[in-house]
């Protein structure tokens, strides 16, 4: 039995301190408050909570701020479909039904109401957990209506008249609001119209469905719509990729033609849930692994694979609901997952930074996508000053003068070298001006840029055995 004592719990994250991010991300999702489709740059937890309240957007942004820094560019997406609650299940001998729930949940919750002190309504006390019993609130008195958490969760409890019994529990689950493809399209359009520069957009949440097959069908339709947006962005020189959350369905439900036939060099699909320590409430929450993948990508440099164990375990994770190592199925479908290693290495890691590109694509892995997007941005910026610039041409051929071509190559190559090669993001970079363009007639200058990327050892073959130096010398 423990001795009487003063127990101390030290709290963290109250100051909302955030480091500057190396690679900015945009985050789109539902939230309790804030203006829909407005792009807000958030650099601290206090502003995040005061602007958006609670919900999936807030949890994702808070995790990003704490792990990889800020600012993050947040967009609240309008939610066409309200959340829902299941019926309440009593375990025990007290009133049934005793506790009922009302309101539209703002997020996914696994709620347990636990009676602490038995007695009539207004005398009985209880604690509430929103994470399936991992953490509980302080003790409250039962009442006809308890709306203590309504602003945070959207939920209000009602206790019926009756005699409640200590240790009885009342449980239910809540599903947060979902958005439609058109809701998301509007949010993405506003994000693209903003002046903010970001490397990728993390789309939090997904569309629903009555069963696994419907959820997957709806998700593929959503991803197709997103790909249209991302492709249009690239056409207008906003180079960004999207991180999408695969619905929580059985692995077999994803091995269908809609998924295997889908291709996008600008999308990363992330599957599998994790139990995560919330940066907002410090409660344990269940979330798609994309929160962890996005935070790792924002933390490491462009050429770095998010699946490199040298960078350490993904922070904030308590456990995995799905481990690709023990349930290998989705990596071959080009879906990014999380894994553990065996007892040689503890912690939780990205399996591979997969992109949904077609087999054999240069952009099968996210690090190549990131490096090329950066290279395209730098090369274009280097060449913009030459638009409508006067060039000397060779009097005999009419082609660009050699000294002019060399000067252009030197400028573009120097900027690429500084940004990509000197920083370790690429092995080499080279620019070459086409020497036989009839610029006088076509008014077009062709420049060829080639990047040699870094190499990655996804497999390591280890040859190990004993050796006897005496026998080796004798032979």
Q: Are 312 and 322 in contact (CB under 8 A)?
A: no
- The pLDDT value given to residue 11: 52
Separation CA 258–CA 308 (nearest Å): 30
Mean per-residue pLDDT of the chain: 93
* pLDDT bracket for residue 209 (50, 70, 90): confident
Mean pLDDT of 160-175: 96
Q: How many CB atoms lie within 10 A of CB 195?
A: 5
Taking a C-beta distance cutoff of 8 angstroms, is the pair 97, 141 a contact? Answer: no
Confidence of residue 282 (pLDDT cuts 50, 70, 90): confident
Residue 343's pLDDT is 83
Task: Give 284-310 pLDDT, tens digit per residue.
Answer: 899 999 999 999 999 999 999 999 999
426 confidence band (pLDDT: 50, 70, 90) = very high
pLDDT 10s digits, 217-227: 999 999 999 99
pLDDT in tens, 26-47: 999 999 999 999 999 999 999 9
| Angle, CA 301 vertex, CA 297 and CA 307 arms, to 5° | 50
Q: Using CA atoms, how far apart are residues 73 and 40, in angstroms rounded to an integer?
A: 6
**What whole-number distance in Å separates Cα of residue 176 and Cα of residue 106?**
5
Inter-residue contact 278 to 295 (CB < 8 Å) = no
pLDDT given for residue 7 in this prediction = 58
Q: Which residues, including other chains, have CB under 8 Å from residue 5's CB and lie 6 or more apart? A: none
What pLDDT is recorded for position 8?
56
Helix H or strand E encompassing 89? strand 89-91
Q: How confident is the model at residue 81 (pLDDT cuts 50, 70, 90)?
A: confident
How far apart are alpha carbons 64 and 45 in whole angstroms? 10
Q: How many Å apart are CA 183 and CA 194, to the nearest integer?
A: 17
62: three-class secondary structure by DSSP: helix
DSSP codes, 13-25: S-S---PBPSS-E
Cα–Cα dist 110/232, whole Å: 39
Above 90 in pLDDT, residue 472? no
Bridge partners, 285 (sequence order): 276
- 426: alpha, beta or left? (left if phi > 0; alpha if psi -120 to 50): beta
Which of 16 and 186 is assigned the larger pLDDT? Answer: 186
Closest CA to 206 of 108, 62, 340, 135: 108
pTM, entire model: 0.90
423 sits in the region (left: phi over 0; alpha: psi -120 to 50; else beta) called alpha
For residue 120, the SS3 value is strand
Rounded distance between C-alpha atoms, residue 27 and residue 76, angstroms: 8
pLDDT in the model for residue 2: 61
The phi and psi torsions of 161 (rounded to 5 degrees) equal -65, 135
Q: What pLDDT does residue 6 have? A: 64
Instruction: Tell me what pLDDT residue 439 has.
Output: 94
């Amino acid at each position: 039995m423990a001795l009487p004592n003063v127990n101390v719990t030290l709290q963290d994250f109250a100051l909302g301190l955030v480091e500057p991010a190396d690679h900015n991300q945009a985050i789109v999702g539902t939230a309790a408050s804030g203006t829909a489709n407005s792009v807000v740059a958030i650099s601290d937890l206090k502003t995040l909570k005061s602007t958006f309240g609670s919900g999936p957007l807030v949890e994702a942004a808070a995790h990003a701020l704490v792990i990889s820094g800020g600012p993050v560019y947040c967009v609240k997406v309008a939610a066409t479909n309200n959340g829902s609650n299941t019926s309440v299940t009593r375990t025990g001998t007290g009133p049934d039904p005793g506790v009922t729930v009302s309101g539209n949940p703002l997020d996914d919750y696994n709620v347990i109401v636990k009676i602490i002190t038995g007695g009539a309504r207004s005398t009985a006390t209880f604690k509430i957990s929103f994470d399936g019993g991992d953490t509980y609130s302080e003790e409250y008195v039962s009442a006809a209506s308890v709306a203590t958490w309504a602003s945070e969760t959207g939920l209000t409890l009602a206790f019926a008249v009756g005699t409640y019994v200590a240790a009885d529990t009342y449980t239910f689950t809540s599903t947060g609001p979902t958005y439609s493809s058109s809701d998301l399209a509007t949010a993405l359009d506003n994000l693209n119209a903003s002046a903010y520069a970001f490397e990728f957009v993390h789309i939090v949440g997904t569309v629903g469905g009555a069963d696994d097959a419907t959820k997957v069908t709806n998700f593929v339709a959503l991803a197709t719509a997103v790909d249209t947006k991302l492709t249009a962005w690239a056409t207008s020189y906003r180079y960004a990729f999207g991180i999408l959350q695969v619905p929580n369905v059985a692995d077999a439900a994803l091995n269908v033609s809609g998924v295997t036939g889908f291709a996008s060099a600008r999308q990363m699909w992330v599957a599998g849930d994790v139990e995560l320590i919330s940066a907002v409430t410090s409660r344990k929450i269940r979330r798609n692994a994309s929160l962890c993948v996005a935070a790792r990508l924002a933390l490491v440099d462009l050429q770095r694979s998010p699946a490199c164990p040298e960078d350490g375990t993904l922070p904030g994770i308590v456990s995995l609901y799905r481990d690709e190592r023990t349930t290998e199925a989705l990596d071959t479908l080009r879906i990014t997952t999380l894994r553990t290693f065996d007892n040689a290495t503890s912690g939780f890691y990205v399996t591979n930074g997969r992109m949904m590109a077609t087999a054999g694509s240069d952009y099968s892995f996210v690090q190549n996508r990131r490096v090329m997007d950066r290279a395209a941005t730098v090369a274009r910026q280097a060449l913009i000053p030459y638009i409508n610039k006067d060039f000397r041409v060779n009097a005999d051929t009419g082609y660009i003068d050699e000294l002019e071509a060399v000067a252009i190559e030197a400028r573009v190559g120097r900027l690429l070298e500084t940004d990509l090669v000197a920083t370790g993001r690429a092995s080499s970079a080279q620019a070459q001006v086409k020497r036989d363009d009839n610029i006088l007639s076509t008014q077009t200058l062709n420049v060829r840029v080639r990047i040699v990327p870094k190499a990655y050892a996804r497999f390591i073959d280890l040859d190990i055995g004993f050796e006897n130096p005496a026998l080796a010398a004798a032979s």
